[in-house]
Amino acid sequence: MSFIELKHIDKIYPGAEKKSVSDFNLEIEQGEFIAFVGPSGCGKSTTLRMIAGFEEITAGELYIDGKKMNDTLPRDRGIAMVFQNYALYPHMTVEKNISYGLKNMKVPAAEIKKKVDWAIDILGLSEYRYRKPKNLSGGQRQRVALGRAIVKDQKVFLMDEPLSNLDAKLRVSMRNEISKLHRTLGSTTIYVTHDQVEAMTMADRIVVMRDGVVQQVGKPMELYEHPTNKFVAGFIGSPQMNFYPVTVQGNLVRFETGETITLPDLILAKLNGREGQMTLGIRGEDIKLDEQSLSLYEKDKQTAVVENTEIMGNENNLYFTFGGQLTVARVSKYEVCQIGDKIEFAFTPSRVHFFDKDTEVCYV
């Protein structure tokens, strides 16, 4: 049995008409870092709160470390939780904030000191030990909240959007700190976020949710390279994958505006004889403007006029209309150009995806 198991978990809030979480199944190994990701309202927090014991499980079974937990009190589940709105005690110092929970748990004083020293050290809070929250930065406060959770020595760590209140730069550094902390402590972690970048950069495996339903579970690159459907393909990765309604006939793809490209055998094999109307997807980095690609894909070369640019030096996005759709190409600094420029480009033929136009399931 896996360390944490969710079996056919449903949640219907009292008075609600539909399920907020529907048939959620997941097995988590000890020490894994799992991210739940999806748009606001898709059921991430609800699922996490059912694992924590703050929400009743409507149907299904939850096991932690081999024990069924459905009716176990939160404090007896062996979990520690960090929220977005971590409320620190304003009148207590960093040290007191971190030790408070342990005092309540009647841990002996000497042990509390040892644990608090350890947490303060590991989180780099030594010089703030005797400060109160109002004299700390957002990132420092968040570290105190983490400290409060890690001293509890629990088997499972649950975090619900813990970085949402921090500014962009701090989010990046806290992301690294939480990953580092996870590697040090090795505790099984479930991390809820609406931000696919956080999920991609931190998690061993990601659970993508939509409207209460798990869409796909996989390692970051599995989701990126092999999305099960158009939703996952569009949600994971930034800028978003480009999508086009197309018609496939033999090895020829025809866009609504009449342009065509030819498909390599590799893709045809995956299409497995499917033809007709479908959705083609391609990521921005697989649209090529460099000389070498253009000569390689000479016969499928297309043209467009650049409508907008996002130039950051290392990440450069060119926006233009192709196939009737706003398209983004991600180019190197050598292909950067200006609004109004006429460009030639080609899709890397082996990198296209195809989705069913109705069910949105990914074939390729």
Ligand X SMILES: Nc1ncnc2c1ncn2[C@@H]1O[C@H](COP(=O)(O)OP(=O)(O)O)[C@@H](O)[C@H]1O
Give the footprint of ligand X on this chain (CB under 6 A): 13, 16, 20, 38, 40-46
Closest to ligand X by CB, 223 vs 246, is: 223
Closest to ligand X by CB, 41 vs 139, is: 41
Size of the site for Mg ion (CB under 5 A): 1
Both tokens of 158, joined, read 């649950």
CA atoms within 13 A on the CB side of 99: 21
* Alpha-carbon gap, residue 265 to 247, rounded angstroms: 17
Q: Which does 363 bind (CB under 5 to 8 A by kind): ligand X, Mg ion, none?
A: none
Closest to ligand X by CB, 48 vs 246, is: 48
Both tokens of 117, joined, read 């020293």
Quickly count: other Cβ atoms within 10 Å of residue 331's Cβ: 23
Cα dihedral across residues 25, 283, 322, 256: positive or negative: negative
The closest residue (CB) to Mg ion is 45
3-state SS class at 129: coil
Q: Which does 97 bind (CB under 5 to 8 A by kind): ligand X, Mg ion, none?
A: none
Could you write out the DSSP letters of every residue in 46-102? HHHHHHHTSS--SEEEEEETTEE-TTS-GGGTTEEEE-TT----TTS-HHHHHHHHH
CB of 14 to ligand X, least distance (A): 7
Closest to Mg ion by CB, 36 vs 224, is: 36
The DSSP H or E segment spanning 280 is strand 276-282
Stretch binding Mg ion (CB under 5 A), from 37-45, 107-115, 231-239, 327-335: 37-45
CB of 40 to Mg ion, least distance (A): 7
Cis ω before 14 (30° cut-off from 0): no
Q: Which does 105 bind (CB under 5 to 8 A by kind): Mg ion, ligand X, none?
A: none
**45 lies in the binding site for Mg ion (CB under 5 A):** yes
CB of 91 to ligand X, least distance (A): 30
Burial classification of residue 272, based on how many CB atoms lie within 10 Å of its CB (0-12 exposed, 13-18 middle, 19 or more buried): exposed
CB of 232 to Mg ion, least distance (A): 19
Q: Which does 292 bind (CB under 5 to 8 A by kind): Mg ion, ligand X, none?
A: none
Closest to ligand X by CB, 58 vs 348, is: 58
Binding site for Mg ion (CB under 5 A): 45
